[in-house]
Amino acid sequence: MPGLTIGDTLPNLEVDTTCGKFMLHDFVGQEWVILFSHPGDFTPVCTTELAKVAAYTERFEERGVKLLGLSCDDIQSHNNWIKDIESYSGGCKVKFPIIADPKREIIKELNMVDPDEKDATGKQVPSRALHVVSGDKKIKLSIQYPATIGRNVDEILRAVDALQKVANHKVATPVNWKPGEAVVIHPGVSNNQAKEMFPQGYSTAELPSGNDYLRFTNV
Ligand code: BEZ
Smallest CA separation from ligand 1 atom 6, residue: 147
| Whether residue 134 is found in the same domain as residue 70 | yes
In the reported structure, the alpha carbon of residue 117 is separated from the centroid of ligand 1 by a whole-number distance in angstroms of 9
- pLDDT, tens digit, for every residue of 126-160? 999 999 999 999 999 999 999 999 999 999 999 99
What atom in ligand 1 is closest to the CA of residue 40? 5
Burial of 58 (0-12, 13-18, 19+ CB in 10 A): exposed
Smallest CA separation from ligand 1 atom 7, residue: 147
Residue 161 placed within a domain: no
In the reported structure, the alpha carbon of residue 147 is separated from the centroid of ligand 1 by a whole-number distance in angstroms of 5
| pLDDT for 161 beyond 60 | yes
Please state, in angstroms and rounded to a whole number, the distance separating the CA atoms of residues 129 and 21.
21
pTM listed for this prediction:
0.96
In the reported structure, the alpha carbon of residue 109 is separated from the centroid of ligand 1 by a whole-number distance in angstroms of 21
| pLDDT for 1 beyond 60 | no
Residue 159 placed within a domain: no
pLDDT (0 to 100) of residue 159: 98
| Whether residue 110 is found in the same domain as residue 201 | no
Residue 1 placed within a domain: no
Question: Average of pLDDT values for 156-175?
Answer: 97
End-to-end CA distance of the chain: 38
Contact 99, 68 (CB under 8 A): yes
Please state, in angstroms and rounded to a whole number, the distance separating the CA atoms of residues 218 and 115.
42
| Whether residue 32 is found in the same domain as residue 120 | yes
Residue 156 placed within a domain: no
Q: What residue ranges line ligand 1, CB within 6 angstroms?
A: 39-40, 43-46, 117, 147-148
- pLDDT, tens digit, for every residue of 47-71? 999 999 999 999 999 999 999 999 9
- 72 is annotated as an active-site residue: no
In the reported structure, the alpha carbon of residue 105 is separated from the centroid of ligand 1 by a whole-number distance in angstroms of 20
Residue 164 placed within a domain: no
| pLDDT for 4 beyond 70 | yes
b/e 80-92 (16+ beta carbons within 10 angstroms → b)? ebbeebbebbeeb
Average pLDDT, the chain: 97
What atom in ligand 1 is closest to the CA of residue 117? 7
Spot the catalytic one: 19, 46, 72, 92: 46
| pLDDT for 19 beyond 70 | yes
| pLDDT for 112 beyond 90 | yes
C-alpha pair distances (Å), 187 with each of 32, 191, 215, 216, 219:
26, 10, 9, 11, 16
| Whether residue 208 is found in the same domain as residue 138 | no
Please give the residue range of the domain that contains residue 26.
Answer: 14-151
| Whether residue 61 is found in the same domain as residue 133 | yes
| Whether residue 52 is found in the same domain as residue 143 | yes
Residue 195 placed within a domain: yes
pLDDT (0 to 100) of residue 141: 98
| Whether residue 177 is found in the same domain as residue 86 | no
| Whether residue 21 is found in the same domain as residue 121 | yes
| Whether residue 180 is found in the same domain as residue 107 | no
The domain tally of the chain equals 2
Smallest CA separation from ligand 1 atom 2, residue: 45
Domain containing 190 — which CATH number?
Answer: 3.30.1020.10
